[in-house]
Each structure stands twice: as C-alpha cells, then as structure tokens.
C-alpha cells in the first residue's frame, strides 16, 4: 500500500495494530475519522488514553474498576463465600447479565497458554489461592472456556486448593437452551448425557 501522506500512513499503521483490523479496514476507519468533525477523533483519543492511564483493578477480584474495591465485591448483599473464577471482564459482564449469580468473581486475566507465552505467574492465580487459604471462600466455581488452556488452568488452580476441602464446581456443559440435538457436536452431546441431572432440578430452574 503506497500512501500519499506520512500522517495518514502512520495513523493507518497504528490502527492496524489492533487485533482483527487489517490495513484495509484501518484505512477505512481512518478515512471515516477524516470525514467527521475533528472533535470525534480527539474524543476517541482522550477516552483511550484516559482509560489506559487511569484504569484500576479491584484489589479483591482484579476486575476492572474505577474504585479500589469494585461494586460487586463491595456489595454487602452478595455472597462473599462463593467465588466464580473467570478469564476476563467480558465473562463477568456475561454472567452478570444472566442475573443468576449472587456470589463474587475472581478475574484471572487470561488462561495458562504456553503457546502464547502466558504462564501462571502472569495471571492472578496466587492471590486466588491465598484467598482460599485465608478461609473466606466456601465454594469455587470454575467458569473458564472449555478448551485445553481452560482445562489446564482449572487443574493448575485445583491442585493448589484441593487440600483446603472447599467445594469446587464447574459450570454445566451441555446442549444450549433452544438448540436442536441433531446439530450438537458429539463431545457436548456425550457430556450432556453423562452429566445428566434429575428432571426435578431442571423444572426448578425454569
């Protein structure tokens, strides 16, 4: 791609550093900003820099927060003894949207993934283990995605806390509500049969 302007080239280059944004898309986005009032670009730039420089993480659950302790951890009506372990803030938002969980979270910040160079020390595993050992946790719920990395991370944490004797569970895997059986993948369908639940329990949750 040959640019008629260094300023344009630099803006496209920086925009194309974002994941999933190629050079062509970056050019389209940058040209869009050029057609909009200059204000839009400065609002975007200020919002990004302001966030990157001032964002904080809850000192208890490591979720993104504007305060030292996030709203969920600070909420007295939530069960501080039930901790749901998730990968990142998007998972917290997704579970909060269901309005089915009244415990608190622990945000790991990723999954153990040697291929991507992410080891246990880059995740907030140590504070989670400390929290369990301090005796304040009654149940730990693993809610990582069920991939090789997710399973590895679950097991790595489990090994360090199993001595504590607390309840450790993992979110149910199975056929999504509303899905047709014939289109489900074998592994999911197989698990959903092996891990079947009493019909009365299913009735209760409707």
- Nearer to a second copy by Cβ, of 50 and 119: the residue is 50
Taking contact as CB under 8 A, which single stretch among the options 53-61, 75-83, 138-146, 183-191 is the one that binds a second copy? Answer: 53-61
Based on the shown chain and the rule CB under 8 A, indicate whether residue 74 belongs to the binding site for a second copy.
no
| Interacting residues of 160 by C-beta distance below 8 A, sequence separation 6+ | 125, 129
Based on the shown chain and the rule CB under 8 A, indicate whether residue 204 belongs to the binding site for a second copy.
no
Kindly tell me which residue out of 76, 77, 97, 121 binds a second copy, with binding defined by CB under 8 A.
97
Distance CA 76, CA 36 (A): 46
Based on the shown chain and the rule CB under 8 A, indicate whether residue 38 belongs to the binding site for a second copy.
yes
Contact between 18 and 12 under an 8 Å Cβ cutoff? The reply is: no
Instruction: Find residue 105's DSSP bridge partners.
Output: 84
Kindly tell me which residue out of 69, 88, 189, 191 binds a second copy, with binding defined by CB under 8 A.
88
- Nearer to a second copy by Cβ, of 82 and 123: the residue is 123
Query: What do you get for the CA distance between the two ends of the chain, in Å?
Result: 56
């Amino acid at each position: 791609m040959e640019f008629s302007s260094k300023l344009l080239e630099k803006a496209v280059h920086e925009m194309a550093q974002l994941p999933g944004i190629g050079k062509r898309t970056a050019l389209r986005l940058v040209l869009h900003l050029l057609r909009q009032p200059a204000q839009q670009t400065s609002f975007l730039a200020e919002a990004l820099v302001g966030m990157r420089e001032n964002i904080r993480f809850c000192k208890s659950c490591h979720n993104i927060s504007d305060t030292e302790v996030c709203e969920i951890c600070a909420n007295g009506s939530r069960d501080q003894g039930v901790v749901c372990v998730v990968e990142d803030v998007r998972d917290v938002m997704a579970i909060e949207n269901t309005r089915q969980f009244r415990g608190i979270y622990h945000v790991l910040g990723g999954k153990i993934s040697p291929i991507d160079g992410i080891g246990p020390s880059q995740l907030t595993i140590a504070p989670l283990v400390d929290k369990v050992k301090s005796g304040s946790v009654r149940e730990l719920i693993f809610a990582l995605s069920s991939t090789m990395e997710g399973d590895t991370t679950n097991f790595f944490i489990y090994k360090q806390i199993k001595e504590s004797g607390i309840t450790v569970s993992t979110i149910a895997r199975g056929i999504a509500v509303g899905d047709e059986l014939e289109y489900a993948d074998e592994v999911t369908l197989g698990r959903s049969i092996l891990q079947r639940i009493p019909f009365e329990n299913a009735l209760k949750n409707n």
